[in-house]
Amino acid sequence: MDGIDRTRVQSIFTPNVRYLEVVEDGIEAGNVIPADFTPTAANMTRVRDNIRKAGIIGRLVANDFSGALVSAIVLDQDAQGKPVDPIKVAHELELKVRQGLEGRGIDVRMIGFAKVMGDIADGPPRW
């Protein structure tokens, strides 16, 4: 998505979120979700442990493991050097993130300056 700092997007899937643990032969570290992750029961347990070790409960992951965050930083200028329009960012978030993800047992909540601007620009919802 344009206007987002890709290198600083944070969620348990991104490689900038790591865990660190002391083991018998030294220190072990790794991505919370390993690169070869497949959604098997064993891997789920491993990820749950990694989340605990990474100390991100309450920050990127809900206290009760009911949900998780994606944190992204909106840039001042996009790749072409043009100022980023927060309203456009908000619309893209709606199209690319909410649509297609919401439903099937998952709720999507979004906040941030860009989102607020988009909501204001779109006006009140039509009842």
Other C-beta atoms lying within 10 Å of the C-beta of residue 60: 20
Question: Which residue of 27, 36, 106, 125 would you call a contact of other proteins, by CB under 8 A?
Answer: 106
Distance CA 122, CA 99 (A): 17
Q: Rounded to the nearest whole angstrom, what is the least distance from the CB of residue 21 to other proteins in the complex?
A: 20
Distance CA 112, CA 73 (A): 9
Q: Which CB sits closer to other proteins, 22 or 41?
A: 41
Other C-beta atoms lying within 10 Å of the C-beta of residue 118: 21
Distance CA 46, CA 41 (A): 9
Residues 8-67 that bind other proteins (CB under 8 A): 8-9, 11-14, 33, 37, 39, 44, 47-48, 61-62, 64-67
Distance of CA 82 to the CA centre of its chain: 25
Please give the residue ranges that form the binding site for other proteins (CB under 8 A).
1, 4, 8-9, 11-14, 33, 37, 39, 44, 47-48, 61-62, 64-76, 83, 85-87, 89, 93, 96-97, 100-101, 104-115, 117, 120-121
